[in-house]
Amino acid sequence: MAKWLFRDELQLIEINVPRAALHLARAVAYPDLNVAAYMSRLHDLSEEIVGAIDVNASPAYQAEQLSDSLFGRLGFSGDKKSYNDPRNSYLNEVIDRRQGIPITLSVLYIDIASRLGIPAYGIGLPGHFIVGIREADGDTWIDPFHDGRRLDLTDCAELIRLASGYEGPLEAGWFAPVSARATLARMLNNLRAAYVASSSWPQAADVIQLLREVQPHEAEHLRDLGLVYYHQHHLPQAAHFLNAYLQRTPDAPDAQTIRDGVKPILDEWVPMN
């Protein structure tokens, strides 16, 4: 029987985000990772918390009880000291270290909430991922990176400002539930940024290859993969992907810059048609 892979998770009608995230980790950095064992640990975490949840309370209050248990008694927290550490983007490491960044802590939170019957979903604010809790009279927003605190619009605007510098009006679409694919793409983009910042080119290439599986129609992944191979001095691969990017998006804003900057390798390595 063939080994189940990250790409197999993407073929499911309903993608299981935490399980796909664990396969992501195994594909890039932890080849011996036991995905089933970590899924069992998520179940065990929900079992540790279930007794603290008042089944008769509102979803918002249940979410507060979940936050008290997860970020209080069990000690999960946002890693503010080494935010860009790649380990913060791998769900297995978040479970082991009990530290993470907004999106991985949100994935953890949403999974446990769903096991406890709390209607939670992901929200991809610019620069900061949070969790929404569905309620009949208006949803509640919480921030797993800051110990599950409740948020209002002013709080969300401040999170966006701190993360991205944006100070304009909030857009309603930012608060819509994020799809499973978009969540996984955002996790991978965080990893790509971390590995590029540390010049960890082989890992960056692996991450971008997974991004191509999640978003096969996004041309910028071809460009980024070509540039990563260029930094590794893998010139045939760099030429292949950069040329593919230019062919797919000949009028892209950066197309001429790429043509000018890498013309020597394109001339040397791209065969004539």
Average pLDDT over residues 178-203: 96
* CA neighbor of 154 nearest in space, from 77, 143, 145: 143
Whether residues 34 and 161 share a domain: the answer is yes
pLDDT tens digits for 103-124? 999 999 999 999 999 999 999 9
The residue from 120, 153, 175 where one domain ends is: 175
Whether residues 98 and 17 share a domain: the answer is yes
pLDDT at 126 exceeding the cut of 80: yes
209 domain-assigned: no
* Whole-number Å distance between alpha carbons of 261 and 257: 6
182 domain-assigned: no
Strand partners, 100: 78
Whether residues 225 and 156 share a domain: the answer is no
192 domain-assigned: no
213 domain-assigned: no
In the chain, how many domains are there? 2
Whether residues 126 and 52 share a domain: the answer is yes
pLDDT at 178 exceeding the cut of 90: yes
pLDDT at 267 exceeding the cut of 70: no
207 domain-assigned: no
Whether residues 21 and 154 share a domain: the answer is yes
At 136, is the pLDDT very low, low, confident or very high (cuts 50, 70, 90)?
confident
Read off the CATH number of the domain in which 26 is found: 3.10.620
Give residue 245's domain range: 219-269
Whether residues 233 and 102 share a domain: the answer is no
Query: Both tokens of residue 185?
Result: 């793409």
81 domain-assigned: yes
pLDDT of residue 38: 98
What is the value of pTM for the model shown? 0.93
pLDDT tens digits for 230-262? 989 898 898 889 989 999 999 989 888 888 877
198 domain-assigned: no
180 domain-assigned: no
* CA neighbor of 127 nearest in space, from 181, 209, 186: 186
